[in-house]
Amino acid sequence: MTIESPLSRRQFVARAAAAGVAVGVVGSVDALYTSEPALGTSGPKVGYGPLVEDPAGMLDLPKGFSYKILSREGATRPDGGLVPSRFDGMGAFPDRHGGSRLVRNHECYPDAPIPVKGPAERTYDPGAGGGNSTLIVDRHNHLEKEYIALGGTAINCSGGKTPWRTWLTCEETEDKAGVKGYTKDHGFIFEVDPYDDRRNRNPVPLKAMGRFQHEAVAIDPATGIVYETEDAFVAPLGGFYRFLPNRPRGGWGSLRAGGELQAMRVAGVPDLSVIQEAGTVLRGVEWVKVPDPLATSESVRAQDFAKPITGGYKLEGAWWGVLDRCVYFVSSFALTSLGPKMEHNGQVWKYDPRRKTLRLELIFKRAVPTDPNPEFDSPDNITMSPYGGLMMCEDGLGDQHLLGTTEDGQVFKFARNRVNNGTPEAPEYGELSGVGFSADGRTMFFNIYTPGITYAITGPWRRRR
């Protein structure tokens, strides 16, 4: 292992007093801004101004922006079914008429308030309660259609889009048949087609990609390699994996042809949370074959690998950098109460496959690490804005926000969930999730976890206040 800690090209810290947000963002954002060439080279110079209180008590936004509710938990769909609970990860795909197609995860156990109930031909396990909804939205953000694309899966948390325009939905569980009423094993990835629903019949788990607490995926379009994160927050730590497909050219159903699952190893670094300096580079990254991807006797991360693998706490979002051909992934949080040796609330890592290096790009830190009720806590889903900078969903305690970053590293509030707040006593909090933009950049979509709400946000995106 070789560790380097050079000064990053842009060191920045959020100004909590100016933004009213008690979080620091430390590190180099240049790589993130340029990972997608269409997203510009930096964030906005400033944010969009203070939030305006919503008289309806739903969602506070800056002046000039407005929201439209596309879907709500418990509403009756046109086909007569109820919209399921627990809205989580979501992929936005272009529609041929200028609108969007959204594939939304439902992170449901069988005992969820409203479990997913799909047609039998699109149901994997009738004893499970998770799955996916597909929403078809026109260019004016009018909901045209909403239906169940996949049912009978479990704890569908996040996932990722493929280069061939399908959605990989990930089960965040390791439960086997016989647990919670399941008739089949769970902890797999499934492929969902947002355009041709006939392909969603007879769901097939992508077993060679592993059975573990999946969170998100990102695909290298040149090699077809799929990178996978594991959202585990109890020992042993979750892993960062790559899947080498037997059919690397991709296309619908190509991942069913199997391949080899491997886990990341950095010698001497069993726990990513001990790395605290943004800009640190870990060299000599190795990949170790997973002995038993189906976890028949013990979880994947606890297996007897040929060499010890490197883990992290709550490895969550992942995306592929088109320009730099690197994969980025998020460690959502690592709190001392959960065991890590350092106190911080999130990391963004970049893996370079050509150089075999792992670089800590960003750290999100509380201004007061011991504050039991922080102003901002636990960044989760992250996306790059077409107008520069990051957009980050909050998944923590207290008020839940959607935040952005400026080119100087200041964190600004873009939205505040007014429907509910999170407390340790009420775990069913209003986490934000599934953030993404339409293909034309005019609309930002995201979800409230519970009660489930899908929003479409429009406004003067190019305006800087």
Q: Please state the pTM of the whole predicted model.
A: 0.90
Q: Is residue 266 part of a domain?
A: no
Q: Write out residues in the chain with pLDDT < 70, as ranges.
A: 1-44, 333-345, 365-380, 396-398, 407-410, 421-429, 463-465
Give CA–CA dist 326/218, Å, rounded.
10
Does residue 423 sit within a domain? yes
DSSP strand pairing (238-245 vs 259-265): antiparallel
CB atoms within 10 A of CB 253: 15
Give residue 400's pLDDT.
85
The pLDDT, as a whole number, for residue 47 is: 83
Amino acid 364: pLDDT? 72
Instruction: Count up the domains in the chain and report the number.
Output: 1
Q: Give the strand pairing for 315-321 and 347-352.
A: unpaired
Q: What is the pLDDT of residues 358-392, one digit of tens each?
A: 999 887 766 555 555 555 556 667 787 888 777 88
Query: Would residue 8 count as lying in a domain?
Result: yes
Q: Which two tokens stand for residue 144?
A: 């045209």
What is the predicted pLDDT for the residue at 16?
Answer: 28
| Separation between Cα atoms, residue 41 and residue 35, nearest integer Å | 9
Token digits for 349?
Answer: 């890592």
Say if residue 55 is exposed, middle or buried (CB neighbours under 10 Å; 0-12, 13-18, 19+): exposed
Give me the pLDDT at residue 274, please: 85
Give the pLDDT confidence score for residue 3 in this predicted structure: 33
With contact defined as beta carbons under 8 Å apart, do 62 and 455 qualify? no
Residue range 237-262, pLDDT digits in tens? 899 999 999 999 999 999 999 999 99
In a domain, residue 208? The reply is no
Compute the distance between CA of residue 26 and CA of residue 314 in angstroms, rounded to an integer. 20
Q: Is residue 63 part of a domain?
A: yes
Q: Which domain holds residue 81?
A: 1-85+379-465
DSSP state of 198: G
Q: What is the rounded distance in angstroms from the CA atom of residue 426 to the CA atom of residue 405?
A: 29
Asked if residue 255 belongs to a domain, the reply is no
> Does 305 fall in a domain?
no
User: One-letter amino acid identity for 202?
Assistant: N
The helix (run of H) or strand (run of E) holding residue 205 is none
pLDDT of residue 98: 92
Give the per-residue pLDDT at 113: 94
Q: What is the 3-state secondary structure (H, E, C) of 234-250?
A: CCCCEEEEEEEECCCCC
pLDDT score for 292 = 98
In a domain, 203, yes or no: no
